Structure 1
Amino acid sequence: MSSVTSPSSNSNTQPSPIQQAAQSILSGATGSSLDVNTLVQVLVNAKTAGHTAVLAHQQQSDNAVISALSAIKSVLSSLKTSLTGLADGSVFSQFAATASGKGIEATATAAAGAAAGSYSVFVEQLAAANQISSKAFTRDATLGTGTLTIGVGSGSMSIELDSKNNTLAGLAQAINGAADNPGVTAAVVKGSDGEHLVLTSKQTGAANTVSVSAGAGVDANLATANFKQVTAAQDAKLTVSGNPVTSASNVVKDALTGVTLTLTSPAVGTTQTVGIESDTTAIGKAVQGFADAYNAWVSAQKAQSAYDPTTRQAAPLLGDSMLNSAVNSIGRIMSSGVSVGGKTYSLAQIGLDLQHDGTLAFSSSKLQSSLKSEPTGVSSVFNGTNGIGQQLDKLLNEYTLSTIGQLDKRSASINDELTSITKQQSDLTTYQQTLTAQYNAQFNALNRLLTTVSNNKTYLNQLFGGNGAAGTLNKRG
């Protein structure tokens, strides 16, 4: 905003808008025409510049605050996400399963009832899918017309053979494209003795045998009795800690509660040990992720509330009460212990040490040591009732939940203010246009008046003398 020059200002000081206007008028009064455009611009600016500057400053400030609030919400949302598995304690119920040899892949499912321990597993045979092959047919042999029924296990479908599809290739295509296919694939194998229709069950297991029934008018060689068995349908057979187990699939679920055993051929005929223990790797990743997210929050809140004494620039949220409240509330939770069963646990005991700058230093080795020596102590810090994760999750909801959280409410309020500022700026522009038109009319009229006065003065000087002129009347005398 322009400042008004005081009377005591030195000669190098620029004149104020009012002084500029006065000088323009005086110039017009002493014989020169008014610079109306400049005069009007100066007066309109003098009238509105202050309000314009105030609105622009407030708009800039509001946008900076909204940007800062968005940054804060982002890091708090990330901090909340990092608590997944920690806030409810579920990460501590995850188990890792391993097998001692080849051919068995063991995986444990979190919170599915797995129990730590070692179990012996002997694999007798793998599950297999039934595959049968027809007798040889000559090339492009026709198969008759009628209904062919193909079954797999308890399901079946009917294929209608006619002159368009009653070849082996046509039949295979019809089987594979059938919408009600019960789970069988068909292929034509061209052998040295002719062409064969090969049918394979999509599912392993003794119950999933393939059958073919040829109706009237269909080549009898397509009946099951005329197919040879290439691979017998069979279940996987194994023993787990001496207990016999059968499975239609080589992916054996819940023979060990909460554990899935995936069997492949190298495991057949071997006895292996499957070990199940707490998944310390998953716990370590979860705690590390929490520490990283917390440190990002500390960095962000400091950046948005900083003050630079060199440039004398303040960040948008310096002294902001809502941010200060969040910082203090989160700090109290982080520094307080958790009481479980009459014993108090802290973050430091599981490798999370609060530093002087407010950040967390994470020691993976200390966490792993705690998991071995006192696993219940680690889970107690993040227990699902009053643990640090649960407390933080509840607090962060107050700030981060969409539309009802404090951050969104605050942003919405500022956006309403920005809408009002935009309206005021529009109104101010309209006012400037009106004022410009008004001043233009007034000073153009004044300019015309001054011009008339100046012309009259010249005429009188010429007539009566003056201003260096002898005067027409004086000459006559």
Structure 2
Amino acid sequence: MALTATGIGSGLDINTIVGVLVDAEKVPKEAIFNKKEQTIDSKVSAIGTLKSALSTFQDALEKLKDGNNINQKSVSTGDNQFFTATADKTAETGSYNIQVEQLATTHKVAGINIADPTAAVGEGSLDLSVNGQSFSVVVGAAESLEDIARNINDATDNVGVTATIITSDAGSRLVLSSDVEGSDNQISIAATDTAGTSLNDMFGGVNLTELQEAKPSIIYVDGQKLTSQSNEITGAVTGVTLNLTDADVNTTSTVKIELDKEGIKGNITGFVDAYNSLMGSIAKLSAYDQEKKTSAALQGDAMVRSIESQTRNMISSRVSVDSESVALYDIGITADRYGKLSIDSTKLDTVIDQDIGSIEGLFSTDETGLAVQLDELVEGYVKPTGLIDSRNNAYTSDKQRLDTQREDFTLKMELLQTRLFKQFNAMDLIVGQLNQQSGSIISGLNSLPGVVRSEN
């Protein structure tokens, strides 16, 4: 007798029985997989939060690594239209009167006008020089003004000449401009013809016209004359760079240089805030809730403990500055019993006014400066292939192994289900056959002579 439906022979709900047996093994294991996956995901998220906090802290450190951002100067030039000014940390505070008599200009010369800039102009070479340096371009017999301009601009040994073609009512001409201003950067050109005199007729002698004279810039600082080959003037006032934009010797403008106290305090405040935020993130990511008896994702993590201890040790260390040692406390930054930093504004203001060099030295001294050391520490964690990336790679590997284990376990459960169905179906068939045989025997016995059936 062949069974056409599961359980028909025995009357058992085989589908349910097999499902219960499979789930008894599958559900606990899947719960373990889910918990492991949740743990890995929580750690990946926590590491991302930690890296973000470290990067924010590093941004604040970058502003203090550079002494120019600590001992920074603010520059005001009023509403003048003659120049802009910037100052570095070497600039002394003070006020200076500036007059601009003349802007530096680039030298421009041009050959004669011709009717067609695409027509061949001659054969030979052009030798060009600027400020004692020279280069040459070959002019082919079929080359035009356009070709010559392109060859000059594309020359790998070009020493600072730009060629253009200007077209006017008089025709088209090749214009050569020095790339740098000043009288030292005048252009000279020598034409050599290998056939005829076309190049000399275009660029030689009186045929070369000066369109713009090369001039130096001229300014007066507190009445003292300074001539420069550029419109960017450094050194007229120590630590100050002037970029000239217009000239009028009869107009006096004032440059005022002051210590940028608010900018300095802003950078230091940014450092303190970023540090406190970092320590807060570390505390949250590594916390243990006594009441709920639950651990944060990175609770007990050795890397987190190392970041915290190294950072706090550096924060509390002293830095040697000009044969003295300076610590955060000396400039008005202190830590409470929880390690949170705060600023005594009055004390910080006093140090900024009286000893800005100690603040610069504390944070920016090469190798030993606090910002320098902390930045190096943080970089080891956040850089590509750094410790955090290595940790993320480890988590990725853990996730891949877990996925493989899930796949293997799923296959194992499918095989178990198949085996159980096979076993129960075999049992169901046997029970069905036995029931059929039993029914036949009872029927045969009941049909024997003298058998009395009991009536219910």
Measured against the shorter chain, the TM-score band is 0.7 to 0.9
- Map 1:214-293; keep pairs closer than 5 Å: 214-216=191-193, 217-219=196-198, 220=201, 222-239=203-220, 245-256=226-237, 258-266=239-247, 268=249, 270=251, 272-280=253-261, 282-293=263-274
2:184 is paired with a residue whose SS is coil
Is the alpha carbon distance of 1:136 and 1:308 closer, same or farther for their aligned partners in structure 2, counting shifts above 3 Å? same
The alpha-carbon deviation at position 451 of structure 1 amounts to 0.6
- Relative to the length of structure 2, the TM-score reads 0.75
Count of residue pairs the alignment pairs up: 435
- Map 1:111-126; keep pairs closer than 5 Å: 114=91, 121-126=98-103
Is 2:168 the counterpart of 1:187?
no
The alpha-carbon deviation at position 410 of structure 1 amounts to 4.8
Q: Is the 8 A contact 1:118 1:275 kept in 2?
A: yes
Q: Distance in 1 between matches of 2:433 and 2:211?
A: 120
1:454 is paired with a residue whose SS is helix
Q: Distance in 1 between matches of 2:363 and 2:119?
A: 72
The alpha-carbon deviation at position 454 of structure 1 amounts to 0.9
Q: Is the 8 A contact 2:7 2:425 kept in 1?
A: no
Q: Is the 8 A contact 1:188 1:197 kept in 2?
A: yes
Aligned counterpart in structure 2 of residue 59 of structure 1, from 34, 37, 44: 37
User: What CA deviation, in whole Å up to 9, does each residue of 1:324-351 have, x standing for no partner?
Assistant: 564455456557777866676536945x
Provide the residue aligned with 1:210 in structure 2: 187
The alpha-carbon deviation at position 131 of structure 1 amounts to 2.6
Q: Distance in 1 between matches of 2:15 and 2:334?
A: 69
The alpha-carbon deviation at position 447 of structure 1 amounts to 1.0
Provide the residue aligned with 1:379 in structure 2: 360
1:265 is paired with a residue whose SS is coil
Q: Is the 8 A contact 1:185 1:202 kept in 2?
A: no
Q: Distance in 2 between matches of 1:214 and 1:332?
A: 72
The alpha-carbon deviation at position 292 of structure 1 amounts to 4.1
Q: Is the 8 A contact 1:125 1:269 kept in 2?
A: no
Provide the residue aligned with 2:3 in structure 1: none
Is 2:13 the counterpart of 1:35?
yes
Identity, in percent, stands at 27
Is 2:316 the counterpart of 1:316?
no
The alpha-carbon deviation at position 205 of structure 1 amounts to 1.9
* Structure 2 gap segments, 5+ residues each: 1-5
Q: Is the 8 A contact 2:71 2:356 kept in 1?
A: no
Provide the residue aligned with 2:83 in structure 1: 104
Q: Distance in 1 between matches of 2:187 and 2:298?
A: 72
Q: Distance in 2 between matches of 1:189 and 1:320?
A: 74
The alpha-carbon deviation at position 46 of structure 1 amounts to 1.9
Larger mean CA deviation between 333-342 and 388-397 belongs to 333-342
Q: Distance in 1 between matches of 2:12 and 2:434?
A: 13
Provide the residue aligned with 1:72 in structure 2: 50
Q: CA RMSD in A?
A: 4.3
Is 2:164 the counterpart of 1:155?
no
Q: Is the 8 A contact 2:328 2:334 kept in 1?
A: no
Provide the residue aligned with 2:145 in structure 1: 171
Provide the residue aligned with 1:428 in structure 2: 409
Is the alpha carbon distance of 1:334 and 1:269 closer, same or farther for their aligned partners in structure 2, counting shifts above 3 Å? same
1:296 is paired with a residue whose SS is helix
Provide the residue aligned with 2:123 in structure 1: 146
User: What CA deviation, in whole Å up to 9, does each residue of 1:95-130 have, x standing for no partner?
Assistant: 4445465412222356xx555555555544221122
Q: Distance in 1 between matches of 2:134 and 2:23?
A: 88
Q: Distance in 2 between matches of 1:348 and 1:93?
A: 17
The alpha-carbon deviation at position 455 of structure 1 amounts to 0.8
1:382 is paired with a residue whose SS is helix
Is the alpha carbon distance of 1:140 and 1:147 closer, same or farther for their aligned partners in structure 2, counting shifts above 3 Å? same
Q: Is the 8 A contact 1:126 1:268 kept in 2?
A: no
* Structure 1 gap segments, 5+ residues each: 1-26, 466-470
Provide the residue aligned with 2:108 in structure 1: 131
Is 2:423 the counterpart of 1:442?
yes
Q: Distance in 2 between matches of 1:390 and 1:442?
A: 72
Q: Distance in 1 between matches of 2:51 and 2:118?
A: 72
2:177 is paired with a residue whose SS is strand
- Map 1:304-453; keep pairs closer than 5 Å: 304-305=285-286, 315-318=296-299, 320=301, 322-323=303-304, 326-327=307-308, 330-331=311-312, 334=315, 345-346=327-328, 349-350=331-332, 370-379=351-360, 381-382=362-363, 384=365, 388-390=370-372, 392-393=374-375, 395-396=377-378, 399-400=381-382, 403=385, 405=387, 407-408=388-389, 410-453=391-434
Q: Distance in 1 between matches of 2:77 and 2:136?
A: 42
Letter in 2 for 1:63: D
1:33 is paired with a residue whose SS is coil
Q: Distance in 1 between matches of 2:106 and 2:40?
A: 68
Is the alpha carbon distance of 1:247 and 1:54 closer, same or farther for their aligned partners in structure 2, counting shifts above 3 Å? same
Provide the residue aligned with 2:436 in structure 1: 455
The alpha-carbon deviation at position 65 of structure 1 amounts to 1.6
Aligned counterpart in structure 1 of residue 59 of structure 2, from 66, 81, 95: 81
Letter in 2 for 1:389: A
2:429 is paired with a residue whose SS is helix
User: What CA deviation, in whole Å up to 9, does each residue of 1:64-121 have, x standing for no partner?
Assistant: 12221221122123313321242465533444445465412222356xx555555555
2:182 is paired with a residue whose SS is coil
Is the alpha carbon distance of 1:285 and 1:267 closer, same or farther for their aligned partners in structure 2, counting shifts above 3 Å? farther
1:249 is paired with a residue whose SS is coil
Larger mean CA deviation between 443-452 and 307-316 belongs to 307-316
Q: Distance in 1 between matches of 2:244 and 2:118?
A: 42
Q: Distance in 1 between matches of 2:251 and 2:341?
A: 48
Q: Is the 8 A contact 1:88 1:390 kept in 2?
A: no
User: What CA deviation, in whole Å up to 9, does each residue of 1:292-324 have, x standing for no partner?
Assistant: 423432443354345779988653234656545
2:163 is paired with a residue whose SS is strand
